[in-house]
Chains A and B, each alone.
Chain A
Amino acid sequence: MKTTIINIIWILKISWSLLFIFFNFHMVLGQEDESMEDAKIALDFVADTDSKFIVATATNSNNEPIEDLELYFYVKRSFSNLPIGDIFNATDENGTVKIEFPNDLPGDSEGNVTILVKVIDSDLYNDLTIETIKKWGVPSLPPDQFQEKRSLWAAAANAPIPLILIISALIFSIWFIIFYIIYMFFKISKIEIINSKSY
């Protein structure tokens, strides 16, 4: 009898512990879901004669400025994003942060660059990425193919003429033979049964 009671007590204890863990787990998850909110970021681009600045203003859902929010600024490049600004860029009491945009970043042929502003891993706000295209880069003109000297390291259009001739001649001669053989097979297939030998 005593053993049964002890067993029941143990079962109750374990069940209670499990329920407690389960309940707490949901509490934690619930807390995260409820407390995380979306931040709003407004971007302002200020350019004077010498320098260019990006001013970002972060506000919450009640349009109140968010203080001390870490923002990350990038410029999209071919393989990854180039970080710009300081190492840490946190908003001030007005919810703004100002960073300088480098003057010498290459853009596309018209000078367009893609600027990314991100909120990453904040305790209070959800991750966010804002993408803006701005004509702040240095226009990258395609290399002048008429000026470039023909060489092994030049662009495809400026390959050395002897190389083009040799490779083309080789490809042409071998593929001519291949097509000739295919034509021969075609002719073989067209020969009708006259005087055919038995196996």
Chain B
Amino acid sequence: MSKQGEHKQEFNDRREKDLLRHILKTSLSYKLWVGFLILVILIGTYGYYRQLKYGLIVTAMRDYTSWGIYISNFVFFVAISLVGSLFSSILKLNKNEWSKPLTRISEIIAVSAIICAIVIIIVDMGRPDRFFYVIKYLRIQSPIIWDVIIISTYLVISLILLYTSLLPDVALCRDRLTAVPKWKKKLYRIMAINWHNDPKQVAMLQKVTKILAISVLPVAFAIHTVTSWLFATTWRPGWDSTNLGPYFVSGAFMAGAAAIIIAMYFIRKFINLNAYITESHFDKMGKLLVLLSLVYLYFNINEYLGPAFKMVGVEGEHITELFVGKYAPMYWFVQLGGLVLPIVLLLFKGMRRSLPISIISTFIILGAWFKRFLIVIPSLQHPYLPIQGVDESYLHYNPTWEEWTITLASFAWFLLIITVLIKLFPIIPIQKHEHVSKRHPILNFQK
């Protein structure tokens, strides 16, 4: 929409203007950003075209390392998607009002992450055309089937969760935004499903929100626990652990909270939402992040202390490889740079300001990604049966450029979905269909 279009638009109050303005105005930096993401996706598409043409041989995955960075990336995206339930369920049920403006950001991130997780798992299949065989020849005994079921369920729940919170705002967009293209008007009209703030409608929506807040939590826990069972039910060192479910779930909440902080930083900066996403939000998110990181640290200690104390057989080899071997630099970067140091730094108030906390969160996200790499790959390289007489390439795993470009493209998809959703809808809830305290400074912001 041109600047002229923006001038044609009239708003009722400042809150409406602040939160709807970005839908009308398309800046050059937005176009450049979208163009850059599309470029990364195109390069990844070429890598995927080569993978489809020549098969999985273009990747570095072989008989032992049969799950490479695709699966690490899949686990990472599933982890990030849990953040939707953190805000829409845990914080909401605990009646935290400060977190409400951040709910939609978290739901958008959750939807985007779960879509990318599904896409990346199909990319990992050598013959994606056979995906429906998974359904056709379904074996309920297989953890992979449990994962397929729970991921599709969580995708639907995440979409409903986002839609539920969006509905009154979409209706507002339908009624207020006159200076938008026809297709957008049509989109808002269809999505608003005859919403007109009728008290009956509001009551029903509140009921839906409550049901969702309660039901999303077990599904969210299940999605990452089942993902951890894909590993825990496979007999390999490092995975043969009863700790894996809570270890994955706690790691997911930490990574998700860090992702929200980074998103908050950029959204605040580029959509000028300083009055809505305040330093106080960053401070509170910082405290929450410390809590989540401490829980994750606890499970990390549990995960490594037992095997490292006993150092039995292949399990011991695996631990040696991580602590002092080939993967030691990555392992210590993840544990210290991505977990211990952020906890220590975030204890200081100054570090919980927007810029430092965003940098710390970036390290947490990097650590979280490499942590999934460390969970998947070194374990696969240490099977319980001895490796004998195999090709040299089977013993190492160095991802090929096709794998990297496809992985980077999945990140670009993730960011593109978020960017487009932010551009289409108000990112901070404008309408207050839920009960909100009159004292609340953010949600009741008026001119």
Q: Which residues of A contact B (CB under 8 A)?
A: 152-156, 159-160, 163-164, 167, 170-171, 174-175, 177-178, 180-182, 184-185, 187-199
Name which residue of chain A comes closest to B195, CB basis.
Answer: A188
CB of B215 within 8 A of chain A? yes
Given B157, B172, B204, which contacts A187 in the complex, CB threshold below 8 Å? Answer: B204
Chain B contacts of A182 at CB under 8 A? 160
Let me know if B204 and A195 touch, CB within 8 A.
no
Let me know if A188 and B211 touch, CB within 8 A.
no
Chain A contacts of B198 at CB under 8 A? 191, 193-197
A184, A191, A194, A195: residue with the most chain B Cβ atoms closer than 10 Å = A191
Chain A contacts of B205 at CB under 8 A? 188
Contact with A along B160-184 (1 / 0, CB 8 A): 1001100100001001100000000
Given A163, A174, A197, which contacts B197 in the complex, CB threshold below 8 Å? Answer: A197
CB of B341 within 8 A of chain A? no
Given B140, B153, B193, B196, which contacts A185 in the complex, CB threshold below 8 Å? Answer: B193
Let me know if A191 and B140 touch, CB within 8 A.
no
Question: What are 10 pairs between A and B in contact, CB < 8 Å?
Answer: A177-B211, A184-B207, A188-B193, A188-B204, A191-B201, A195-B198, A196-B198, A197-B197, A199-B172, A199-B176
Let me know if B204 and A197 touch, CB within 8 A.
no
Chain B contacts of A180 at CB under 8 A? 211
The CA-CA distance from A177 to B218 in the complex, in Å, is 13
Chain B contacts of A156 at CB under 8 A? 137-141
Chain B contacts of A190 at CB under 8 A? 194
For the complex formed, measure the closest distance between the CB of B212 and the CB atoms of chain A, giving whole angstroms.
7
Q: How many A-B residue pairs have CB under 8 A?
A: 83
Name which residue of chain B comes closest to A185, CB basis.
Answer: B193
For the complex formed, measure the closest distance between the CB of B216 and the CB atoms of chain A, giving whole angstroms.
10
Chain A contacts of B164 at CB under 8 A? 181
The SS class assigned to the A binding surface is helix
Let me know if A174 and B140 touch, CB within 8 A.
no
Given B149, B153, B160, B200, which contacts A191 in the complex, CB threshold below 8 Å? Answer: B200
The SS class assigned to the B binding surface is helix
CB of B208 within 8 A of chain A? yes
Q: How large is the interface on B (under 10, 10 to 19, 20 to 34, 35 or more residues)?
A: 35 or more
Let me know if B208 and A184 touch, CB within 8 A.
yes
Q: Which residues of B contact A (CB under 8 A)?
A: 12, 137-141, 146, 149, 153, 156-157, 160, 163-164, 167, 172, 175-176, 193-202, 204-205, 207-208, 211-212, 215, 218-219, 222, 431
Let me know if A167 and B196 touch, CB within 8 A.
no
The CA-CA distance from A181 to B141 in the complex, in Å, is 30
Chain B contacts of A163 at CB under 8 A? 140-141
Let me know if A175 and B196 touch, CB within 8 A.
no
Q: Taking A175-B153, A190-B194 as contacts, is the C-beta distance between A153 and B208 under 8 angstroms?
A: no
Let me know if A195 and B199 touch, CB within 8 A.
yes
The CA-CA distance from A20 to B86 in the complex, in Å, is 77
The 4 closest A-B CB pairs, nearest first, are: A189-B193, A156-B139, A196-B196, A197-B197
Let me know if B215 and A199 touch, CB within 8 A.
no
Let me know if B431 and A174 touch, CB within 8 A.
no
Chain A contacts of B218 at CB under 8 A? 174
Name which residue of chain B comes closest to A184, CB basis.
Answer: B208
Name which residue of chain A comes closest to B154, CB basis.
Answer: A174
Name which residue of chain A comes closest to B196, CB basis.
Answer: A196
